[in-house]
Amino acid sequence: MGTDLHELLRSLRVWDVELPSFDPASAPAEPLPLFVEWFAKAVAAGQTEPHTMTLATSDEDGLPDVRIVMLHGADADGWAFATHATSRKGRQLAARPYAALSFYWPTQGRQIRLRGPVEVAPAREGQADLHARSTGALAAALVGRQSEVLGSMEELGRASDGAWDRARSDPDAPAPTWTLYRLRPEEVEFFQGDARRRHVRLVYRRAEEGWLKELLWP
């Protein structure tokens, strides 16, 4: 017999750990310091791949798309990620330069959601970011053709082998379409789960000067 999905779903539990407390009254005036604090605590708690995040974009017709990408940094200029400008998400961001990000760290019962306009970083910054990463990351970028139709796994194997050879022999090899993007949030929400379902939701909204903070009903 096959798996009963509904029975399986009902058997699962979330946050089967001791959750941290969060007093929104003590939150800083801006979201970035709180993000860094929560990120560091997720790492300390042993959260698997805390630097992965969901990126949501939309195409020219306004149809949504979503995938997991890696955080490359966060500072006053925004939250950074990278991809090929010719990929599906790169084309979508060119057509509609606005996106949303979300982080989920179940070891802490925490989520962080951001949305805002996306800007392309200067090409030299994108290449510097790429060359500061691993040989495998460079090899993957050199393969390119992300989101194009693939004829066979053998074709991918040949292209990948060639890219690995070049990445090893020339660690500064350029990947022209590789692009660094920055999302400058207009809104950032911090969600702290609570065992009694009294979840804390604190949202920052960018104002003309600084940020406004509000609590939301869970």
Confidence (pTM): 0.93
pLDDT, mean of residues 138-153: 93
Helix (H) or strand (E) holding 166: helix 153-169
pLDDT, mean of residues 189-195: 96
Q: How far is CA 180 from CA 19, 128, 184, in A?
A: 35, 10, 13
Cβ neighbours of residue 164 closer than 8 Å, sequence gap 6 or more: 135, 136, 139
Select the more confidently predicted residue: 16 or 217: 217
Distance CA 70, CA 50 (A): 9
pLDDT at 57 over 90: yes
The per-residue pLDDT of the chain, averaged, comes to 96
